[in-house]
A = this chain, B = another copy of it.
């Protein structure tokens, strides 16, 4: 299995670099979190190539806990500016990331990023309903946009985002992390090489038990329930694993728990898809139960099972293939390495004037399919 071996070696090499950095890059007695140690040491080792200057829009868990630490570890990306409605939080993060005060913006003066040449791109990590506005304003300010998924809360907004970036001649990438993650990429490779034969059927699920009070439970901010937030991983995976667009898609959305959480968004979705080749896929998602993200692909010669399939680290692929040794690969990299890849891939697209694989069209398609699921379930995105 040369593929597996290669993948493992690559990961081991990367781990070695990290560990060496750990031993050489930190002064004795310095108290830093392991992540910070690793990040800073990598920064020192890797030195100063050209790095995309990101303005972070929204200081929440994903930006502060994952994307910004990733930029610090990266050779191609760095944090140069922040947009936040909380000046204290912004000042604290600015200090940690050496962001000068002049590069701190409120949502009101966000458009002034146009005048800041240090900012190459924005990373939009806001509640879903704000993605469109802040993407369009960034494009109008002459900045490239890396936007979290789901792209927006309506198909119309998604199209407007694409139009604005196109008109401004700026790149737009949707942060489909898994499409840059090595174990997911190995799954795609095994499928494309025909290792599991002709694809026939896929099952996938992804969900979690959401807490009362989270913005994800407010349709005004989230656009929809678990389908928009986590079910989208299954939907997107079925598309990138088959390499096809579903020609029919239908599902159901339900609320079971009347405990105040599901006043505006659904609690569960189940849906099936039919792809042009004939592959069928059936998925579920929930905000009402711990639901480990998995995807299982059945081919005429074998089966791939990934679980966890969509997590920040530890993606595990197990493939059983007719007349061959099983393939078992666990992503050996640690969070936030997936975000490093994502940030750097977008940086490369900008530097080399390449269209991102997960561009606006890719995001728009998921929006259209989610709209179809909601429509068939008697709900609406608007």
Q: Give me the interface of A with B, judged by CB distance under 8 Å.
A: 197-203, 205, 207, 209, 248, 250-252, 254-257, 267-274, 277-286, 288-292, 296, 298-300, 302-303, 320, 322, 376
- CB distance B270 to A282 under 8 Å? yes
Report the separation of the CA atoms of residues A72 and B286 in the bound assembly, to the nearest whole angstrom. Answer: 47
Known: A198-B256, A271-B272, A292-B303. 18 other contacts (CB 8 A): A198-B288, A201-B205, A201-B207, A205-B296, A250-B376, A251-B272, A254-B279, A256-B279, A268-B278, A269-B280, A270-B281, A272-B272, A272-B282, A282-B283, A284-B298, A288-B300, A289-B299, A291-B298
The CA of A271 and the CA of B270, in the complex, are separated in Å by: 9
Are A286 and B200 neighbours in the complex by a CB distance under 8 Å?
yes
In the complex, what residue of chain B is closest to A283 when comparing beta carbons?
A: B282
| Copies of this chain in the oligomer | 2
Measured between beta carbons, the chain B residues less than 8 angstroms from A270 are: 201, 272-274, 280-282
Q: Flag if B203 contacts A289 (CB, 8 Å).
A: no
Take A201-B285, A303-B291 as given contacts and tell me if A252 and B274 are in contact as well, using a CB distance cutoff of 8 Å.
Answer: yes
Point out the residue from B254, B278, B300 that lies within 8 Å of A255, measured CB to CB: B278
Q: How far is the CA of A256 from the CA of B277 in the complex (A)?
A: 7
Q: How far is the CA of A268 from the CA of B274 in the complex (A)?
A: 10
Bound-complex Cα distance A267 to B201 (A)? 10
Residues of B within 8 A of A199 (CB): 256
Q: Is the CB of B201 within 8 A of A203?
A: no
Within the complex, what minimum Cβ distance (angstroms) separates A289 from chain B? 4
> Hey, which chain B residues are within 8 Å of A257, CB to CB?
198, 300
Q: In the assembled complex, how far is the CB of residue A303 from the closest CB belonging to chain B, in whole angstroms?
A: 7
| Residues of chain B contacted by A203 (CB below 8 angstroms) | 203, 205, 282-284
Return the 5 tightest CB-CB contacts between A and B, nearest first: A270-B280, A282-B282, A254-B278, A252-B274, A256-B278
Residues of B within 8 A of A255 (CB): 278
CA–CA, A209 and B322, complex, Å = 12
- A281 contacts across to B, CB distance below 8 A: 270, 284
- Report the Cα distance A285→B201, complex, angstroms: 8
Query: When chains A and B are docked, how far (Å) is the Cα of A282 from the Cα of B292?
Result: 15
A248 and chain B: residue at smallest CB distance: B252
